[in-house]
Amino acid sequence: MLNTINRMVMNPRTSAREVAQIISADPALTAKVLQVVNSPFYGFPNRITTVTHAIVILGFNTMKSIILSSTIFDLFRKDAGPGRFDRTAFWKHSIGCGAAAKVLGRRLGYAALEEIFIAGLLHDVGKIVLDQFLHEPFSAALELARRREILLREAEEEILGANHADVGGWLFETWSLSRGLVETTRCHHNTDLAQDHPRLAGVIHAADILARAIRYGNGGDDKIPPLREEVWKALGLGEAGFDDLLRETGAEIEKATVFLDFIR
């Protein structure tokens, strides 16, 4: 489904009706799309009842982002087994990061705020991949992070030789997703690695730390890494506005909780 939608969106001759026909063939996906577009996350005054109408209003790229997030929630819905990784808490943290990214994006004048939200929502997807397919070593990394009070990515690198950001970037690159999404996922801990979209990677780096500061959900460890000074300066965000950022992020999280329904 995702690859089909991606190809259609890239074709300038594709109409909203054609994309809607593909989505509408999947009743569960249709219900999710309409649930999201009619939620407070978008805040439309009138109810949207068809996928075609949703695409016309939101655009192809936003619709693709909704489908991408839904696909990932479905792919990694299954519990990998007993362990310390709380997937509901993980997705809450991810929603918090998406909300913070949207707030930062708005302040910085980004037009595609929904796409920035999705980049924040999916920034830690590598953790789910590791939990699903390398459950035992990932569980060992979680335990090591807890015992030594270090960041999870540091424990992952010690045990696996790579971290969740590497895995998530690899996954999205394999799926031929946008370079921006690949880089925000791969480089949100080390923005120096971002070649094409360093500022966007900086937004997700800052959003991840804001989400941790709010403590909505949990990404697998209880640490709050330092915000890179060069990122803060590059984003042009003053220290005086930090409390406002936290308040705005909290309000945005309330609107974004509709995405939790994807895992129920």
- Find the range with the poorest average confidence among 4-8, 26-30, 47-51, 108-112: 4-8
**pLDDT exceeds cutoff 80 at 186:** yes
Domain identity same for 99 and 47: no
The more confident residue out of 201 and 1 is: 201
Residue type, 2: L
∠101-35-42 over CA atoms, to 5°?
A: 40
Give the per-residue pLDDT at 166: 96
Domain identity same for 164 and 124: yes
Predicted model pTM: 0.88
Residue that terminates a domain, selected from 45, 75, 105: 75
Domain identity same for 3 and 52: yes
Highest-confidence range of 160-169, 211-220, 243-252, by mean pLDDT?
Answer: 160-169
Domain identity same for 63 and 113: no
Q: What is the pLDDT of residues 101-155, one digit of tens each?
A: 999 999 888 888 888 999 999 999 999 999 999 999 999 999 999 999 999 999 9
Mean pLDDT confidence for 176-185:
92
Q: Is 120:102 a contact under the CB 8 Å cutoff?
A: yes
Domain identity same for 67 and 108: no
Domain count, the chain: 2
**Residue 245 sits in a domain of what CATH number?**
1.10.3210.10
The more confident residue out of 156 and 69 is: 156
Domain identity same for 68 and 114: no
Domain identity same for 11 and 35: yes
Give the per-residue pLDDT at 28: 84
Helix residue ranges, H only, 175-261? 179-187, 198-214, 229-235, 242-256
**Cα maximum dimension of the chain:** 56
Residues contacting 152, CB < 8 A, separation 6+: 127, 141, 142, 145, 163, 164, 219, 220, 221, 223
Domain identity same for 16 and 128: no
Kindly list the distances between the CA atom of residue 127 and the CA atoms of 152, 162, 187, 199, 256, in Å, as whole numbers in the listed order.
10, 11, 14, 23, 21
Residue that terminates a domain, selected from 13, 46, 75: 75
Q: What is the pLDDT of residues 220-250, one digit of tens each?
A: 998 888 877 777 777 777 665 678 888 899 9
Give the per-residue pLDDT at 264: 66
Residue that terminates a domain, selected from 75, 105, 121: 75
Domain identity same for 54 and 152: no
Domain identity same for 164 and 245: yes
Task: Give the span between the Cα atoms of 161 and 180, in whole angstroms.
Answer: 25
Task: Give the span between the Cα atoms of 36 and 157, in whole angstroms.
Answer: 36
Task: Give the span between the Cα atoms of 83 and 143, in whole angstroms.
Answer: 9
What is the extent of the structural domain holding 22?
1-75
Domain identity same for 11 and 99: no
DSSP code per residue over 24-41: HTSHHHHHHHHHHHTSTT
Domain identity same for 128 and 51: no
Highest-confidence range of 7-21, 160-174, 203-217, by mean pLDDT?
Answer: 160-174
pLDDT band at 81 (very low <50, low <70, confident <90, very high): low
Task: Give the span between the Cα atoms of 183 and 258, in whole angstroms.
Answer: 26
